[in-house]
Amino acid sequence: MTRSIYFSEEHELLRTQIRRFIAKEVIPFGDQWEQDGRTPRDVLRKMGDLGFLGIQYSEEYGGAEMDVLASTLYAEELGRSTYGGFAITALVHTDMASPHLANAGSKAQLDKYMPDIIAGRKIAAVAVTEPDAGSDVAGLKTRAVKDRDHWILKGTKMFITNGVHGDIYFVAVKTDMEAKGSRGITIFIVEKGTPGFTVGRSLDKMGWRSSDTAELVFDNVRIHEENILGEVNKGFYAIMKNFQNERTVLGAQALGEAQKALELTLDYVKERKAFGGTLWDKQAIRQRLSQRQSEVAAGQQLLYHCAWLNANGEECVKEVSMVKAYCGELVNRVMYDCQQFHGGFGYMRESTIERMVRDARIQSIGGGATEVMLEEIAKRL
From CA 244, how far away is CA 309, in angstroms rounded? 11
* Separation between Cα atoms, residue 265 and residue 346, nearest integer Å: 10
For residue 284, give the CATH number of its domain. 1.20.140.10
pLDDT tens, position by position, 274-321 = 888 999 999 999 999 999 999 999 999 999 999 999 999 999 999 999
Q: Residues 150-181: pLDDT tens digits? A: 999 999 999 999 999 999 999 999 999 888 77
CA-to-CA distance for 289 and 51, rounded, in angstroms?
36
Question: In terms of C-beta distances under 8 Å and separation of at least 24 residues, what long-range contacts does 310-316 make, across chains too?
Answer: 310/68, 310/244, 310/245, 310/248, 311/67, 311/68, 311/69, 316/244
pLDDT at position 177 is 84
Least confident of 104-108, 131-135, 224-228: 131-135
Contact 87, 252 (CB under 8 A): no
Q: Is the pLDDT of residue 182 over 90?
A: no
Q: Looking at the predicted structure, is the pLDDT value of residue 235 above 80?
A: yes
Among left, alpha and beta (phi > 0; psi -120 to 50; other), residue 155 is left
Q: Give 320-355 pLDDT, tens digit per residue.
A: 999 999 999 999 999 999 999 999 999 999 899 999
Asked if residue 2 is part of any domain, the answer here is no
Select from 28, 22, 37, 27 the least CA-distant residue to 209. Answer: 37
Query: What is the pLDDT at residue 134?
Result: 62
Q: What is the mean pLDDT of the chain?
A: 95
Q: What's 49's domain CATH number? A: 1.10.540.10
Whether the pLDDT of residue 132 is over 80: the answer is: no
Residue 139 binned pLDDT confidence (cut-offs 50, 70, 90): confident
Find out whether 362 and 335 touch, Cβ atoms under 8 Å. no
Closest CA to 146 of 114, 184, 119: 184
In a domain, 217, yes or no: yes
Confidence of residue 244 (pLDDT cuts 50, 70, 90): confident
Answer with the one of 122, 153, 173 that is the final residue of a domain.
122
Give the model's pLDDT for residue 379. 96
> Could you tell me if 225 and 240 lie in one domain?
no
Average pLDDT in the 218-246 region? 92
Higher-pLDDT residue of 183, 269: 269
Query: Contact, 229 vs 114, CB < 8 A?
Result: no
**Per-position b or e across 309-328, b if 16+ CB within 10 A of its CB:** bbbeeeebebbbbbbbbbbb
Return d(Cα 182, Cα 238) in angstroms, integer. Answer: 11
Mean pLDDT across the stretch 132-137?
68
Single pTM value for the model: 0.94
> Is 325 within 8 Å of 346 (Cβ atoms)?
no
Rounded percentage of the chain residues whose pLDDT exceeds 90: 90
Please state, for a pLDDT cut of 70, what percent of the chain lies above it.
97
- Note down the domain range covering 23: 9-122
Residue 342 falls inside a structural domain? yes
Which residues does the annotation mark as catalytic? 246
Residues 132, 116, single domain; the answer is: no
pLDDT for residue 138 is more than 80: no
Q: Are 74 and 52 a contacting pair, CB within 8 Å?
A: yes
Q: How confident is the model at residue 136 (pLDDT cuts 50, 70, 90)?
A: low
Q: Bigger pLDDT: 38 or 238?
A: 38
Count of structural domains, the chain: 3
Examine the domain organization and report whether 261 and 373 are in the same domain. yes
Tell me, yes or no, whether 4 lies in a domain: no
* The amino acid at 323: V
**Residue 225 pLDDT:** 96
Question: Sign (positive/negative) of CA torsion 10, 11, 16, 17?
Answer: positive
pLDDT confidence of residue 241:
83
